[in-house]
Chain A
């Protein structure tokens, strides 16, 4: 049984004549512990798919099943990492990581505190425990957003262009960090991006979407061996796959731009 089943998902915003379909009849299955990258031109509804799996929006038609049961509301079993981090600006780094347990009225004991400092260290934020988000760089805020989600040990990670707003160098560092974390502790990942290199570097499988309203256009299984590092991106095999996917994506990007 797939971990995530998306069946004929249709999402529209607005009502009646003026309603705009963001996603129309979208199907996708994600296997347990699979790293799936959803690729598409901007405005094609990639994030809408993720928001429906997260439970932030309800489908107008079709259904989204996680572990066989329909998604009704957001929850800590589906950890979301947002594009603009959405860390709580009034909380320190440590308080942000602890926000999940606090919000769920969990008891904060020593074991949990140890977990918190372990996760802060794993994303490389040790030494910044008492800093406020405004004192962190964009990359560090993304790491904090990731750490906050990882503490809840979610079965599924939903990542909505998490490195899209970062500069090129920081993005590479974050991609390598994510590879390292994921290869150590495999989770089911739905990763939204419009960056081909990122999708090929991280994913087990790439699904390319059509321009709005988005549907599945093409699927590509990524067979590069793991563990992977950024060095993979300069191999001929990587470049070949990149060229092939680029053409497919480019057609859709042109349609989206029109």
Chain B
């Protein structure tokens, strides 16, 4: 049951960490060489240091050569608000519907075929409709992010509920639990590992979607700055935006992973007799 600590592995930790730095350092070195010598895209492709300077300027406004100098926090806030609202709406509807569809066969038969038929339509295909119906601004971003979040959360919640351990359900029935009680006290917790996986996949999709939504239908946000910098040939700012998205995506995924991991401490990894 208890994991044994193998000393050989611990001794090897430093060489392993060292290896992890070699690859990114090589990439940065090549990037810097190619950028500084204007070797790509007629010299438009910026070097690593130019891109980092643009990121710093975006953050602080210290250089002030871009219309977005020093506006990092404002645009990040706009994107963050859109992703939070859209993600929350999509996740809540996804978990609720997924659980109901997975648990009650009547709900499954009446809803699932329709939802499943809409699912293959890619999120980007919804953009024209969303812009025309909801206008330019926050609303299409909310809608598209919620939609992107909904499907993986819905599918994972449904599967988690439908394949919840039948033995646990029987145990609850034997203890006198009602159907509703079983849904909330047994099926929901039993489906939680699957729901958590859906929530994490959905968060990455939500970031992608909010950027696309801002590129096409907003006047603020990191996605908007990215596409507008592109049209001004400010590729250093494009990379600064990409850098921002990479960092924010990683941080939010780690936070979500940590929160879900705490809720799932009871899961026995890799064992079911």
Contacts and interface: CB of A to CB of B under 8 A. Distances in A.
A132 B176 CA distance: 22
A152 B176 CA distance: 10
A104 B266 CA distance: 24
Contact of A100 (B176, B192, B265): B176
Contacts of B173: 55-56, 73-74
Interface in A129-151: 132-135, 137-138, 145, 148-149
A152 B177 CA distance: 13
Given A88-B168, A88-B171, A90-B189, A103 B177 contact: yes
B125 interface: no
Chain B interface category by residue count? 20 to 34
Contacts of A40: none
A103 B1 contact: no
Contacts of A149: 174
A132 B167 contact: no
A76 B177 CA distance: 9
A80 B268 contact: no
Interface in B148-189: 165, 167-168, 170-178, 181, 185-186, 189
Mostly helix, strand, loop or mixed at chain A's interface?
loop
B266 A82 contact: no
B11 interface: no
Contacts of A103: 172, 175-178, 181, 185
Nearest to A138: B273
A152 B167 contact: no
A75 B176 contact: yes
A134 B272 CA distance: 10
A99 interface: yes
A82 B171 contact: yes
B267 A89 contact: yes
A138 B186 CA distance: 21
Contact of B174 (A74, A84, A132, A138): A74
Contacts of A102: 185
B186 to A, nearest CB: 7
Contact of B175 (A55, A99, A134): A99
A189 to B, nearest CB: 15
B247 to A, nearest CB: 34
A80 B267 contact: no
A10 B170 CA distance: 21
A86 B189 contact: no
Contacts of B189: 88, 90
B174 A78 contact: yes
A184 to B, nearest CB: 23
Given A103-B181, A134-B268, A138-B273, A84 B167 contact: yes
Given A99-B175, A103-B181, A89 B167 contact: no
A133 to B, nearest CB: 7
Contacts of B165: 86
Interface string A93-128: 000000110111100000000000000000000000
A57 to B, nearest CB: 10
Nearest to A73: B173
A131 to B, nearest CB: 11
A75 B265 CA distance: 30
Given A103-B181, A104-B177, A148-B175, A86 B168 contact: yes
Given A103-B176, A103-B177, A134-B266, A86 B273 contact: no
A80 B267 CA distance: 24
Interface of A: 54-56, 73-76, 78-80, 82, 84, 86-91, 99-100, 102-105, 132-135, 137-138, 145, 148-149, 152, 165
Interface of B: 1, 165, 167-168, 170-178, 181, 185-186, 189, 192, 265-268, 271, 273
Given A89-B266, A103-B172, 14 more contacts: A73-B173, A74-B174, A75-B176, A76-B174, A82-B171, A84-B273, A86-B168, A88-B168, A88-B171, A90-B192, A91-B266, A99-B172, A103-B178, A149-B174
Closest 5 CB pairs of A and B: A103-B177, A134-B268, A74-B173, A100-B175, A86-B167
6 contacts: A54-B170, A88-B168, A103-B176, A132-B266, A148-B171, A149-B174
